[in-house]
Structure 1
């Protein structure tokens, strides 16, 4: 049943996007060697929200993390940011209405997600010439970093990375499981719960402030979580396993772009001390802003402060406009 909690949240998020002038669209990606062939093969597509027509304002890509759909994660940003930027909000591969190629294709790493978005930019923007600012939260920060490093400042402009531990290690994963309470064997089980107890614990880990949804009855939360996290569940677990952050295949190097790091001071998924470590590895053009009394998603807990920080950075950053 769920008393329509999920449809209500989807309606609220969708309404925020429509009010900001964004509309849903889909772009088909070029074929790659990993797409496979035969009857199982299908084109890779990226579903996204954007204003109609070619950009009249500097383009800004908002990249979501794990958890609820992109519209939920960025609903507090699209209105204020769209007044100064041509905001584009894609669903990453294996999320939302976006699709990968075939069941036999390997799950995309964060670098493969970045490459897919770079390939999609002409379709997302309607032009191949635009220079794009990017902002990513959590896993989306991994993707934003990979995009900026791969494409360089000629294609990717200022970079915003929110609560995204680019230095995450297997030891950090173990510490996270301990903070979660020791009930779970892997981070994926904590981040994509299917029962009420797991959902309540995830909310406690994600948010600093107590969420109204935590007051709902167990059966409502359970039914909502099952509807929310059952979609493409195995693909997303495979996606987590394919992440190279925290492995020998991934090394953080300085970016040539201006970078803004944002962190909630009570983040229990990627604790605040990691923000300072990430900052020290990203080069000289890095600014760190800490938002008080927020957790892992400051853009949702304190959207006014988050938006002000992002706008001040993007408007003041050199070369933030399209070329």
Structure 2
């Protein structure tokens, strides 16, 4: 989801690109935290495929305690993870932050749009940088990809944190009114906004306290700079994710799993958090963040980061615990 636009009054044309300036600022924060950008060409058929590239931010030194951070729909990974870098590093973790395919500078010409393909691609990128075991945190769509990675590569993924990731949704839930959309097409229109009014709707759905004023010039700027690439492919990702989805076909994870949810999430309601906890049959722990919605990772980054750090630092815990923060 996009970060909330600045709350400034007035209209008119934006002379400078606020989105481009903010994007550069976030990149500088990653550099200042000791991470460096890397473009990894993935091996296909035993050779590097020049048309499949995963862009990622990696520690300058070989990581000793790697933690893979997977973003959700919206802007590139730097926009969604910048508040977490310094707290995680101070706690002894080495963040690895990729852009999923068709976000940021990651792309492919291959036709597969499944979360399984995303999972394979990120795992191949991790192998390429020599990281074979790691913790994993996934936000929203990144949680879908992370869940697949944990299921497909249990020897590599040690523990999992899912943040507002509705992996237990079923396609029929849309028609039955669980979500603010009634079908996959409407879901795609919501999550891949093309006009300022669509960005406003998304922000108001994902934040408990959205900005009161969101000037169109800033929103057009955001769409042009951060949201206009790969719109068709992103829509196809959603169709591949939701169409025909059934809980009965969702595998259970063997890893200990932290579930973090915004209490007022309107995109993936709390029912999906409880459904996931039941699905994992005592192998998970649920933390509910008060006064937060679907964008809990941006609304309450300190609370979310604290829960993540505590979870990955603990050797064991009582999986039946449920907490409110």
Which TM class, normalised by the smaller chain length? 0.7 to 0.9
Distance 1:176 1:70, change over 3 A: farther
Gaps of 5+ in 2: 1-12, 317-325
Aligned pair partner of 1:81 in 88, 107, 116 = 88
The answer (yes or no) to whether the contact 2:262–2:288 under 8 Å persists in 1 is yes
Is the strand fraction higher in 1 or 2?
2
The alpha-carbon deviation at position 97 of structure 1 amounts to 0.6
Match of 1:228?
Answer: 226
Distance 1:32 1:238, change over 3 A: farther
For residues 200 and 18 of structure 2, the distance between their equivalents in structure 1, rounded to whole angstroms, comes to 15
For residues 195 and 43 of structure 1, the distance between their equivalents in structure 2, rounded to whole angstroms, comes to 30
Match of 2:30?
Answer: 17
Q: CA RMSD in A?
A: 2.6
Aligned pair partner of 1:118 in 110, 116, 123 = 123
- 1:228-260 deviation digits (Å, cap 9, x = unpaired): 321111111112122267525972232111100
The alpha-carbon deviation at position 216 of structure 1 amounts to 3.4
TM-score using structure 1 length:
0.86
Gaps of 5+ in 1: 36-40, 319-323
The answer (yes or no) to whether the contact 2:138–2:163 under 8 Å persists in 1 is yes
Match of 2:61?
Answer: 53
Match of 2:20?
Answer: 7
Distance 1:113 1:183, change over 3 A: closer
The alpha-carbon deviation at position 179 of structure 1 amounts to 2.8
Count of residue pairs the alignment pairs up: 302
TM-score using structure 2 length:
0.85
Distance 1:184 1:62, change over 3 A: closer
The answer (yes or no) to whether the contact 1:291–1:305 under 8 Å persists in 2 is yes
Match of 2:194?
Answer: 194
Match of 1:303?
Answer: 301
Distance 1:119 1:184, change over 3 A: closer
Match of 1:161?
Answer: 162
For residues 61 and 243 of structure 1, the distance between their equivalents in structure 2, rounded to whole angstroms, comes to 21
Distance 1:317 1:137, change over 3 A: farther
